[in-house]
């Protein structure tokens, strides 16, 4: 006999909301797409969502315990660290949304560059 599993639809009152990346994965926060263009025109929500999904920049929130541990694959050490802004391929990783904000888990070798300032970096 199997028991029914109960899931609460209430928002947890305590506890960590963001997942800890496992293995060789990184937890990435995506920048929010502006509501208006530089010229002052409003960007529709649908278009902003499409741009967010295709983002090529992200902020490294957490690094998994096995990320960059393979000395043969990463002889010069980690490609990035917690707190870095990175460039990655559009649509990389596993998408998740927590309280309306989009995050990704990506593999450690998906990082293509580290940048100081992500403003103005867009997909070509």
Task: Report pLDDT for 15.
Answer: 52
Q: What is the mean pLDDT of residues 45-63?
A: 83
* pLDDT band per the 50, 70, 90 thresholds, residue 75: very high
* pLDDT band per the 50, 70, 90 thresholds, residue 118: confident
Residue with tokens 């902020």: 59
The HSE-up count of residue 21 (CA atoms within 13 Å, CB side) is 26
pLDDT tens readout for residues 14-30: 457 899 999 999 999 98
Task: Report pLDDT for 8.
Answer: 39
Mean pLDDT of the chain: 84
Q: How would you class 52 by CB atoms within 10 Å of its CB: exposed for 0-12, middle for 13-18, buried for 19 or more?
A: middle
pLDDT tens readout for residues 93-114: 999 988 888 899 999 999 999 9
Which residues, in sequence order, are bridge partners of residue 17?
none
């Amino acid at each position: 006999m199997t028991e029914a599993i109960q899931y609460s639809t209430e928002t947890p009152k305590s506890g960590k909301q963001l997942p800890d990346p496992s293995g060789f994965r990184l937890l990435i926060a995506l920048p929010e797409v502006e509501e208006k263009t530089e010229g002052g025109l409003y960007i529709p929500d649908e278009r902003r969502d499409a741009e967010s999904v295709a983002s090529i920049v992200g902020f490294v929130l957490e690094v998994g315990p096995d990320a960059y541990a393979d000395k043969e694959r990463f002889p010069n050490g980690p490609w990035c660290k917690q707190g870095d802004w990175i460039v990655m391929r559009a649509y990389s990783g596993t998408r998740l949304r927590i309280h309306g904000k989009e995050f990704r888990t990506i593999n450690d070798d998906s990082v293509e560059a580290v940048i100081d300032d992500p403003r103005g970096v867009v997909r070509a």
